[in-house]
Structure 1
Amino acid sequence: MTTPNDSWKSAELRAAEAQVDARFKEAQDLANRLKETPLPPVPPVDFKAIAQQVERAAQERDAPEQLKALKRKVDAGEFTWEDVVSGKAAQDPDVQAMQQENVNKMKQAFQMLQEGMTAEEIMEAQRPRRDGDDDDQLDPDIFTEDKW
């Protein structure tokens, strides 16, 4: 970064310029190494299997409303579950609403991680609740050891 007429520069400025030059060279070297590094092949995505999982989730009694809206459209033949999970139906407002809900859950999970919660605690906090769900009350039809 030196020029023929840089006598006006202080020693501190020259040292800072030298550091910038060194970091720039390191960045260029790293970029060149990365260009030469072969990447592993990306495994194919099994959209059919993912679509089947989403379809099963949509059939659950306590499925989110966004998923139920998509199920109605799939049932009406507007698109398929594979279209939904592969992105072919990404412009549909109901698909976008479901995606936004997923983004909101990811943001919430990230916040919970930053607050120190464990993955198990986050999953439990985000578990869909059924009407009348009470963590202190078990379903009376469930046989547990304390009912012996």
Structure 2
Amino acid sequence: MTEPATVPPDYELDDDPARVDRDALWAFLSEQAYWARWRDRAVVERQLDAAWRVVGVYERATGRMVGFARAAGDGVSVAYLADVYVLPEHRGHGLGVALVRAMVDEGPGATLRWMLHTNDAHGLYAKFGFAPPNDQYLERPRRLPEAAAGGAG
């Protein structure tokens, strides 16, 4: 087991889905996230509603959500880590490490098999045991909806 998730005193982690700022989440995913541009707001809302677990990072003084992670899974054996971010102006304080640690190593997901797709931050995820798949792992790539097939994704 790794160290408990620690955040600077100006921030807090919370896994209450009701606290997620849906407008802030949509703003980041639709404007800044390279991996989410094919989604429309209705898709993001459905993903959030269906999430097995969410963890947010919030400024203590304002309550503003400045980071987020979502997990899909069965809650028993597997989980998929998605939509992990910390706003650029809040990076460099260990919030990304704390966020992933809270999601993956703490709480109900600590013993699950975790999966993830990412083009960046491999060093962060390696701290939590993420590595290239072995020869037992197969995957069918995502098929974008017709309307989004020409967009980034």
User: TM-score interval w.r.t. the shorter chain?
Assistant: under 0.3
Q: Which has the larger radius of gyration?
A: 1
Greater percentage in helix: 1
Q: If the length of structure 2 is used for normalisation, what is the TM-score?
A: 0.25
Name which structure has the greater RCO, CA cutoff 8 Å, separation 6+: 2
Q: If the length of structure 1 is used for normalisation, what is the TM-score?
A: 0.26
